[in-house]
Structure 1
Amino acid sequence: MSIYIETERLLLREFEDQDVDGLFALDSDPLVHKYLGNKPVTNKDQCLEYITSCKQKYKAHGICRLALIEKKSGDFIGWSGLKLIDDYTFNNHTNFYDVGYRLIPKYWNKGYATESGKAAVNYGFETLKLDTIFGLTEIKNEASHNALLKIGLDYIEDFYYPEDAIQLRWYAIKNPNL
């Protein structure tokens, strides 16, 4: 089964190899990585590895981040969606579903993170029947903080992430149907 989510202005779909150029435009931009550890990618092979990893997670977990397409233009504008975090620990949690988004800067401040995030949370609750979805932001990333709140997550607490030596914020939303 292929994952495909449509909102008023956006399409969220599984990554394809053809998304490599858009993903490189996104993840090679230092501005995008300001609150992500300042580690932008340096070549398209890194982006292909990410796409391959997502494809493996679609098969293994039924979900991973999704390519985000603006319907009006047909442009790849970033990614959004859920991901099962099962390979590392955040705030003493592992094996949890995280809602996230990352957009090319020219698509910031249009409400796309909120719109796609709400659709992803809805998919997680309605289709995957998840109990709880979590979110994370770097403590200084106010735009992402505000987007998670608009999506419906509740701010829980700040915590220190020693692997990257940064302060993060922790959020959660419970499935209202369970």
Structure 2
Amino acid sequence: MWVGLSMGGYVILDIQRRHPDAVAGFAMCDTKGDADAPAQRANRVRVAETCESGHTVDPVMHFADATDADSSFKRSEAGKALFSRWIRDQRPEGVAWRQRMAAGRPDLNDQLPLVTVPAAVIGGDRDPFSPPATMRAVADAMTGTDVTYTEIADCGHFSATEHPATVAAALVDLMRRVG
């Protein structure tokens, strides 16, 4: 069984594309299959260059900032501290690599209808990167399988951190369906 959270969704979509026989169960969490638009791609490359040239992760620190639209966890002191620590613990070269990788990823939405194993799509109702409409579209595109969709209330982009019990329950259900 493969589970992809955020950028991990692209990894499992590529596994589906390259080795569908290696997939017994498929879970997409807080993710999608879209490639970046040209402006997004250019911004990612700019961020990568800034991280490398300045030896800093500051260009991505805004991901730790919370707004009123974010989940209560992300707005909490514990959430702010966790996300800030996650970012600060990264090396600028690693952040740059991730930005370039994301900028170069292909659109893999064509793989969604090819999933034929039990599947789960899980996402937060306050996720700014893969909002409910996007996650429902991912689930709806999986026409070749039995797919469940779990929308988690008061949850942002990191459902497994913000609501681990809910994500675990959806994955246990998927494991049962995989058998």
TM superposition score normalised by structure 2 = 0.33
From the CA coordinates, give the structure whose radius of gyration is larger: 2
Higher relative contact order (CA 8 A, sep 6+): 2
Give the structure with the larger strand fraction. Answer: 1
TM superposition score normalised by structure 1 = 0.33
Give the structure with the larger helix fraction. Answer: 2
